A and B are shown apart, each in its own frame.
Chain A
């Protein structure tokens, strides 16, 4: 099936971005409204497509649109084409829906920033790029969107680039993403070299003929790409610093949408990973490591946004784990992605609301007792909190428990290890999220008298409320009658549920709940019943110290890559100076030296030149004389 309206999904926000950037200050007064309207328009088209999709039978739901023939080199043909199937539509609705809410939120949040128009231009650009990422019908089209969101992320993290640390954070995010991007481009190249095509349909068709080794290589490279974009171990270090961007950006890009692109990529490439078990196992392991990694870091952060960022990292770890569990887990990974999109975006917006009321203070140790002053923020944040720690019947309960369950059922040592890791992560999540909520909203006030906490305007709490609603209901909606699983079935091939389940769903839920209660109680004891010091306590375990420093990831990167890189560069400079420049200068010196020597023969006197001619003639005659001897 084809549809001609797919392109407008992307074109509307792209147009908005172009208008806002080109019109300049002239559009300061109405630019944000245009951007929000266009984003909403895109959402409307998404909804329309969704309703049309619902009206068709399961096999007919995917639609595509060929825009133009992009690359045509011999047998290598790439069309700039769009494809909307059951997987893409989830993302389209999430991106445009949450994106529109965040546009609305930003109108109020950024109202005092005189660069608000530029901010909206970038936001619109991001929406367009992200839509291209999820709508592209080939890896190459996806790559364009992939780079586009990377650029948007860079621009928005460094939006307040007058602060050098923010600009550095943007650069760090960009560079870490480049490492991942290299993985994606390598994956595309390997796919082209071995399969001769880069479109999803073509790769899926030819994947069965390719060797497992090639598929594993593609899978590993795709995983590298995913770790970069989704802040997974070992490329996760940029996400914490990315919180330098305005809070709506953190909510939209670094919680709900862009960072989940890796999960999308893995799910989209399910045919590769299903045929390459080694790569799939790597995905699961990376996910498990990251979910613990992020959770541990989250326990130690005092910056509310950084704590939430660590939590994002951890939750995406769950998704990647789910995607790494194969056909059994794809649907739950996507489900967790969607629910996470709601509750984490809602919590970020809540955090933004708190900062808005507290003069941009981000240190949780200087909050406390804010529930009285910001009841709506507290309510929406609290609903998101209940969702993320997995309290039934909130969204996280459905999605996260399913991933834990699938992990346990993966079989053997692998299943037990991954399952235990996921369970442990759930407990830690409960602990640190409780910590965030208590430090922010409960207890006694620890802020200066200068701060005047107040509730945010409707434009801000409206989107928060809608997202909170999503946090409450989405899990139930998705799981009711296995709705999302059946919906996604044509894209990610399903296998029938395990016959010999290691643990039944009921036992998993109970185990998880017990651990969550444990985590919550620990946090309550430590932070609610005891006094919270306003300054950061120094007499803590080495474990906490490490967690505060992001488990030494930055130090490791610096020692393993930056310093050797610097040494390499220095060595290259020396080589350049000594060998290459030396050779060049040597040749030059040879030329100039011989020139100087030969210059003495150039007297400028015609007669001496005539003499040379005569000598030449003599040499010629002498040669004739010799050969005729």
Chain B
């Protein structure tokens, strides 16, 4: 098997995640799609590390995980806050920017 196949899987997962962010309306699902995209990127990093024979790709993936964790914590807190004031987790309901 060609190791580049991991990259194709990564691309597909990333694309699926991108569609999810645009299409889904539940803020939590949207967040999960973002996580999917980050994970897809991580897979690519790990694969690159393997191809290049050094661990730097894995280090970057590690940092990505930490940043993703931060992002989830803050993002979910925001969702909770919005939910508390609007009784809804739909991203379409928080469309006050229009007005």
A interface list, Cβ under 8 A from B: 602-607, 610-611, 614, 617
CB distance from B22 to the nearest CB of A (A): 5
Q: When the two chains form their complex, are residues A604 and B91 in contact, meaning their CB atoms are under 8 A apart?
A: no
Asked whether A607 lies within 8 Å of B98 as measured between CB atoms, the reply is no
Q: Is the pair A614, B18 in contact by a Cβ cutoff of 8 Å?
A: yes
What residues of chain B lie closer than 8 Å to A605, measured between beta carbons?
A: 91-92, 95, 98
A606-B18 in contact (CB<8A): no
Per a CB cutoff under 8 Å, which of A604, A610, A611, A614 touches B97? A604
User: Chain A interface mostly helix, strand, loop or mixed?
Assistant: helix
**A604 pairs with B95, CB closer than 8 A:** yes
Q: Verify B25–A607 contact, CB threshold 8 A.
A: yes
Interface range on chain B: under 10, 10 to 19, 20 to 34, or 35 or more?
A: 10 to 19
The answer to whether B91 and A606 touch across the interface, beta carbons within 8 angstroms, is yes
Which secondary structure dominates chain B's binding surface? Answer: helix
Chain B, range 10-60, C-beta contacts under 8 Å to A: 18, 21-23, 25, 30
Cα A606 to Cα B21 in complex, Å, equals 10
Instruction: Tell whether, in the assembled complex, residue A604 and residue B25 are in contact, meaning their CB atoms are under 8 Å apart.
Output: no
Q: Are B97's CB and A602's CB within 8 A?
A: yes
**Nearest Cβ in chain A — how far from B62, in angstroms?**
24
**19 A-B pairs, CB-CB below 8 angstroms?**
A602-B97, A602-B98, A603-B95, A603-B98, A604-B95, A604-B98, A605-B91, A605-B92, A605-B95, A607-B21, A607-B22, A607-B23, A607-B30, A607-B91, A607-B92, A610-B21, A610-B22, A614-B18, A617-B18
Which residues of A are found within 8 Å of B21, using beta-carbon distances?
607, 610, 614
Residues of A within 8 Å of B98, CB to CB, are 602-605
The distance from the CB of B93 to the nearest CB of chain A, in whole angstroms, is: 10
What B residues does A611 contact at CB under 8 A? 22
Q: Which 9 pairs show the lowest CB-CB distances between chains A and B? A: A604-B98, A604-B95, A604-B97, A606-B91, A611-B22, A610-B21, A605-B95, A610-B22, A614-B18
Q: How far is the CB of B83 from chain A (nearest CB, A)?
A: 15
Kindly supply a per-residue 1/0 record for chain B positions 72-99, scoring 1 wherever the CB is within 8 Å of any chain A CB and 0 otherwise: 0000000000000000000110111111
Give every chain B residue within 8 A of A604 (Cβ-Cβ).
95-99
Residues of A within 8 A of B91 (CB): 605-607
Residue of A nearest to B91 (CB): A606
Alpha-carbon separation in the docked complex, A611 to B91 (Å): 14
- B-chain residues with CB within 8 Å of residue A602 when the two chains form the complex: 97-98
Complex Cα distance A606/B92, Å? 7
> What B residues does A614 contact at CB under 8 A?
18, 21-22
Closest residue of B by beta carbon distance from A603: B98
Q: Which residues of B contact A (CB under 8 A)?
A: 18, 21-23, 25, 30, 91-92, 94-99
Q: Report the bound CA distance from A617 to B30 in whole Å.
A: 18
Whole-angstrom distance between the alpha carbons of A606 and B97 in the complex? 9
CB-based nearest B residue for A611: B22
Alpha-carbon separation in the docked complex, A566 to B85 (Å): 66
- Assembled-state Cα–Cα distance A550/B98 (Å): 73
A604-B98, A605-B98, A617-B18 given; name 10 further pairs at CB < 8 Å.
A604-B96, A604-B99, A606-B94, A607-B23, A607-B25, A607-B91, A607-B92, A610-B21, A611-B22, A614-B21
Q: Which residue of A lies closest to B33 (CB)?
A: A610
Complex Cα distance, B91 from A610, in Å, reads: 11
- Bound-state CA distance A617–B95 (Å) is 23
Question: In angstroms, how far is the closest chain A Cβ from the Cβ of B56?
Answer: 23
Residue numbers in B under 8 Å from A610 (CB-CB): 21-22
Which residue on A lies nearest to B97, using beta carbons?
A604
> How far is the CB of A617 from the nearest CB of chain B, in Å?
8
Q: Which residues on the A side are within 8 Å of B94 (C-beta)?
A: 606
Q: How far is it, in angstroms, between the C-alpha of A63 and the C-alpha of B22 when the chains are bound?
A: 92
**Given the complex, which residues of A lie within 8 Å of B92, measured CB to CB?**
605-607
Give the distance in Å from the alpha carbon of A602 to the alpha carbon of B99 in the complex. 10
In the complex, A604→B94 CA distance in Å? 8
- Closest residue of chain A to B34 (Cβ to Cβ) is A610
Most chain-A CB neighbours within 10 Å: which of B22, B23, B94, B95? B22
Question: What residues on A are CB-neighbors of B95 within 8 Å?
Answer: 603-606
Q: Which residue of B lies closest to A608 (CB)?
A: B22
How far, in whole Å, are A444 and B91 apart by their CA atoms in the complex? 107
Min distance, Cβ B98 to any Cβ of chain A, angstroms? 3
Residue of chain B at shortest CB distance from A599: B98
Q: Min CB distance, B24 to chain A, in Å?
A: 8
Cα separation A261 to B95 with both chains bound (whole Å): 78
| A619 to B98 CA separation, bound complex (whole angstroms) | 26
- B95 closest partner in A (C-beta): A604
Please indicate the chain A residues that have their CB under 8 angstroms from the CB of B30 in the complex: 607
From residue B33, how far is it (CB to closest CB) to chain A in Å? 10
Q: Report the bound CA distance from A603 to B99 in whole Å.
A: 9
CB-CB under 8 A from B23, the residues of chain A are 607
A606 CA / B91 CA spacing, docked (Å): 7
How far is it, in angstroms, between the C-alpha of A603 and the C-alpha of B22 when the chains are bound? 14
- Residues of A contacting B18 in the complex (Cβ-Cβ under 8 angstroms): 614, 617
Q: How far is the CB of A597 from chain B (nearest CB, A)?
A: 16
* Alpha-carbon gap, A190 to B87, bound state (A): 80
Task: Give the chain B neighbours of A617 by CB distance below 8 A.
Answer: 18
CA–CA, A229 to B23, complex, Å? Answer: 85
Taking the closest CB of chain A, its distance from the CB of B78, in whole angstroms, is 12
- Quote the shortest CB–CB distance from A536 to chain B (angstroms): 79
A605 and B30 CA atoms in complex are apart in Å by 13
A617 to B97 CA separation, bound complex (whole angstroms): 23
User: A72 CA to B47 CA in the complex, in Å?
Assistant: 76
Cα A607 to Cα B34 in complex, Å, equals: 13
| Smallest beta-carbon distance A194→chain B, Å | 67
B99: nearest chain-A partner, CB-CB: A604
Complex: chain B residue closest to A609, CB-CB: B97
Q: A620 to nearest B CB, angstroms?
A: 13
A602, A603, A610, A611 interface centre (most CB from chain B within 10 Å): A610
Cα–Cα distance between A610 and B99 once the two chains are bound (Å): 19
CB-nearest residue of chain A to B19: A614
> Closest CB-CB distance, A599 to chain B, in whole Å?
9
Task: Find chain B residues with CB under 8 A from A606 CB.
Answer: 91-92, 94-95
A246 to B25, CA, bound (A): 88
Closest A residue, CB atoms, query B27: A606
